[in-house]
Amino acid sequence: MLQTAQRQSKTKKPKTALPHERFLEAFRWMLLARTLEEKLVSLYRGGLITGGVYIGKGQEAVSVACGLFLKKGDIFAPLIRDQAGRSAFGEPLLDVTRTYLGSRLGPMRGRDGNIHRGRPQESQLAMVSHLGAMISVTVGALMSKRFKGEKGFVGLACIGEGGMQAGAFHEGMNIAAVEQVPLVIVATNNHYAYSTPNDREFACHDLVDRAIGYGFEGYSLDGTDLGACLEVIGGAVKRARAGRPPQLVVASVLRLSGHGEHDDASYVTEEIKREPFACDCLKVAEQTIADLKLVDGETLAEWRKEAATKVDEAIATAQQEAPPEGDKEDWCAISMRNLVDSPE
């Protein structure tokens, strides 16, 4: 599969990978994520998915950069719009399709759904819905690695501008700085928390100004520009890994979908759609590829086809798999069976 192949090639690659190679690699993950999510949306419209579908359209450039610079052993705490980053980090496509399509073989086995999936065993944390809560969890995972004497690791946690207003986010960010763990927080300001525009979310001029108040290093970012995402987020990861203080990156984009696919996003104003940050990062990246002639149109078409094939395969596999069944389920919330309580 693509992700396996590329992950290997990533670690094998000489340290001075050509920026263009990185750019193209990232682009392909973005393409895969977009293809996958478009497919999920059409399944959703066809009534084939239970629960919500939440996609990262317009945020793939930021997200892919979050996953791309992490190595085995690093900690990744993605959120709901991080398909590109999850794939780049190494999440198999089957984890996605199995979760959305309700296969009992998925990582959450039908117990949790859609974007809540994760594999903490492989350092991809499984988010709870409560926004902000995963920051301190990432801090703890990093402390653990330090306790165990590991070196050179880093953690990256994603957040939206909405989630940044949650108390848990504040406590997590502050404790990261107190513990001086190698954490990168990538905040994506997509200008809405569900239907709520920025002016009812916060009142500071720029959210990156939060960094100084915690002792983080802060960077702003045009999230529609893949090159910038790779440079800024890659740089933050590098600095955290090298022992610099925790890093905050704030990217500006527009969410190019509803909050979830149930949402027509009619509250998004026409005015904001004309803002520069409203560009589609995938199209911008494609334009860059064309302008710089990084690859030709034929290759692009091939990549597109390849992505579609992989997505179709992963969906077909998951669709053939049995769902979980209530009467076969192991109804036990704890791992130590001898301690199970059994009230009526």
Partner 1 sequence: MSITYLEAIREAQAKLLRDDKRVFIYGQDVGGTFGGAFKATKGLAKEFPGRVLNTPISEDAMVGTAIGAAIEGMRPIVEMQFADFSSIALNQILNNAGTHYWRTNMPVPITVRLPSGGTKGSGPFHSQSMESIYAHYPGLIVMTPATVEDAYTMLIEAVAIDDPVVYCEHKYLYYHLKADKLPTEGLPTGKARITREGRDLTIVSYSAMVHEALAVAEQLAPEGSEIEVVDLRSVKPLDTDTVLASVARTGRLLCVGESFPWGGVTAEVIARVTAEGFHLLDAAPQRINAKDTPIPYHPNLWSAHRPSAKEIARKARALLRE
Residue ranges that bind ligand TPP, judged by CB under 6 A: 81, 129-131, 160-163, 166, 190, 192-194, 255, 259
146 near its own copies, rule: CB under 8 A: no
CB-nearer residue toward Mg ion: 54 or 69:
54
202 near partner 1, rule: CB under 8 A: yes
The distance of closest approach from Cβ of residue 166 to ligand TPP in the complex, given in angstroms and rounded to an integer, is: 5
The distance of closest approach from Cβ of residue 56 to ligand TPP in the complex, given in angstroms and rounded to an integer, is: 8
165 near its own copies, rule: CB under 8 A: yes
The distance of closest approach from Cβ of residue 115 to Mg ion in the complex, given in angstroms and rounded to an integer, is: 14
Q: Exposed, middle or buried: residue 298 (CB in 10 Å: 0-12, 13-18, 19+)?
A: exposed
**CB under 5 to 8 A by kind: which of partner 1, Mg ion, its own copies, none does 33 bind?**
none
**Segment interacting with its own copies, rule: CB under 8 A, options 4-12, 151-159, 164-172, 184-192:** 164-172
Number of separate helices (H) and strands (E) present in the chain: 11, 7
One residue of 48, 175, 294, 300 binding partner 1 per CB under 8 A: 175
For residues 200 and 197, what is the distance between their CA atoms, to the nearest angstrom?
Answer: 6
One residue of 48, 165, 284, 306 binding partner 1 per CB under 8 A: 165
219 near its own copies, rule: CB under 8 A: no
**Contact letters for its own copies, residues 112-141 (x by CB under 8 A):** --------------------x---------
Size of the site for partner 1 (CB under 8 A): 82
Residues 94, 95, 101, 103, Cα dihedral to 10°: 90
Strands (DSSP E) contained in the chain are: 75-77, 155-160, 183-189, 192-193, 196-197, 217-222, 247-252
**Segment interacting with Mg ion, rule: CB under 5 A, options 1-9, 46-54, 72-80, 159-167:** 159-167
The distance of closest approach from Cβ of residue 29 to partner 1 in the complex, given in angstroms and rounded to an integer, is: 24
95 near partner 1, rule: CB under 8 A: no
For residues 87 and 82, what is the distance between their CA atoms, to the nearest angstrom?
Answer: 9
Residue with tokens 């690695």: 145
CB-nearer residue toward ligand TPP: 245 or 258:
258
Give me the sign of the Cα torsion angle 320, 316, 116, 174. Answer: positive
For residues 237 and 142, what is the distance between their CA atoms, to the nearest angstrom?
Answer: 14
Adjacent-strand bridge partners of 192: 197
Burial 102-141 (b: 16+ CB within 10 A, else e): bbbbbbbbbebbbbbbbbeeebbbbbeeebbbbbbbbbbb
For residues 27 and 118, what is the distance between their CA atoms, to the nearest angstrom?
Answer: 23
205 near its own copies, rule: CB under 8 A: yes
- Helix axis angle for 19-45 and 281-291, nearest 10°, is 140
Contact positions toward its own copies, by CB under 8 A? 132, 165-171, 174, 177-178, 180, 199-205, 207, 209-215, 245
